[in-house]
Amino acid sequence: MNTESPAIKMDEMIKRLFHLSKKPLLNLLNALYNDNLEETAAVEYGGAEFIHDNLVKSMADLFINVYSCRAVYRYHIEFQTTHDKNIVIRMFRYGFEKAKELLDLSDLSKAVEMEFPDPRVIFIEENEKIPDILQLKIKIPKQEPVLYQVPAFKYWLYNAGRLYEMQMYLLLPLQVFKIRKHLKAEGKMNEAAYQSLVETAEETVRFIGRALEEGKVTPEDAGEMNAILVNIMEYLYGKYGNYSKIDGEVKKMIKTFYDPGLVEKGKIKGRLEGRLEGKLEGKLEGKLEEGRLILLKLIKKRIDPLSKDIEERINNLGIEQLELLAEKIFEITTEEDLRQAVTVIH
């Protein structure tokens, strides 16, 4: 067994959270920006890759346009697990590149306006040196200086309950990452840290289950949120604990807190009973196709695009075979993993 800890790309995981269903995304944006976007608003993701004149490529984290009540809200969000002192400079550069896309150069007799997207930076890990607002002052001789400001959202200050109150449901899975600072200082995961991680995970999953039960997120959202939570826990335990035990201790622990609410009410009953991703059981009679559709959506969230031959084989699985595949969903990270899993149970 590989004894090295798994790599983790927090930026990519957070991006996945921001690409879940529209309703919780709009709630999150409203909380982050103190806006009042309606549920009927349309959402568009902007391109985040820029090719500069010297052919050097740069990549921002996230641009989102929201069309609501005849107004356009343009958002720019960056994620930080540690404090990059250059982040405000990079955000200004990204915002400038995005503003260039909207330039109107038809009448150069007037001032050319550049509309920057509204910036926010989300800091995950605790750092007392991070200010509430990052500022960049642009000084030009004989002109008034221009102040570029980026409000900082200090994630570590919010527990799962507070995030739920603020309707920031999509950020719940990141709760387990907050322990990393302590683990880095200690160098390993002791029993106290392990128990703290378990308790945080249990609380987080309860709130995810509550969000699903109250219709705040979809079953697909909840499944992806739990998958990300598990990925982070595996990383933490693998890096600071005994990674060789991950298939035993960590996954056994995950089984104990996985909430039965993370399945579609009336379609997949899902007691899960210690299973990582949910066992298709109960009310599948007469609703096999709905259950299959939900499982496929969860898979496509993790593997996109999905090969047609694999999808066809999944479409031919029976109830018991779907149950077996659902049990393995968190262990599947690549199309090859999926292909092997389908082959074994087919």
Burial 55-67 (b: 16+ CB within 10 A, else e): eeeeebbbbbebe
Give how far Cα 273 sits from Cα of 235, 276, 278, 295, 301, Å: 24, 9, 8, 18, 24
Give how far Cα 69 sits from Cα of 37, 39, 73, 327, Å: 9, 11, 10, 43
pLDDT of residue 90: 94
pLDDT of residue 326: 75
pLDDT of residue 277: 43
pLDDT of residue 186: 83
pLDDT of residue 275: 39
pLDDT per residue rounded down to tens, the chain (346 residues) = 334 444 467 788 889 999 999 999 999 999 999 999 999 999 999 986 766 555 556 778 999 999 988 899 999 999 998 888 899 999 999 999 999 998 888 888 888 899 999 999 999 999 999 999 999 999 999 999 999 999 999 999 999 999 999 999 999 999 999 988 888 888 888 888 888 888 898 899 899 999 998 999 998 899 889 889 988 888 887 788 764 554 455 555 555 554 444 444 333 333 333 333 444 444 444 456 666 777 787 788 778 788 888 888 888 887 777 777 876 776 677 888 888 887 777 6
Interacting residues of 342 by C-beta distance below 8 A, sequence separation 6+: 310, 313, 314, 317, 325
**Rg of the Cα trace of the chain?**
22
- The amino acid sitting at 199 is E
Burial degree of 15 (CB within 10 A; 0-12, 13-18, 19+):
middle
pLDDT of residue 268: 37
C-beta of residue 320 within 8 angstroms of C-beta of residue 345:
no
- Between CA 22 and CA 42 the distance in angstroms is 8
Give how far Cα 144 sits from Cα of 97, 140, 290, Å: 23, 7, 61
Q: What are phi and psi of 300, to 5 degrees?
A: -70, -20
118-123 β-sheet, strand order: 42-45, 62-68, 71-80, 118-123, 146-154, 133-138
- The amino acid sitting at 28 is L
Domains in the chain, start-ordered, CATH in brackets?
Answer: 10-156 (no CATH), 269-346 (1.10.8)
pLDDT of residue 340: 82
Enter the pTM of the model. 0.73
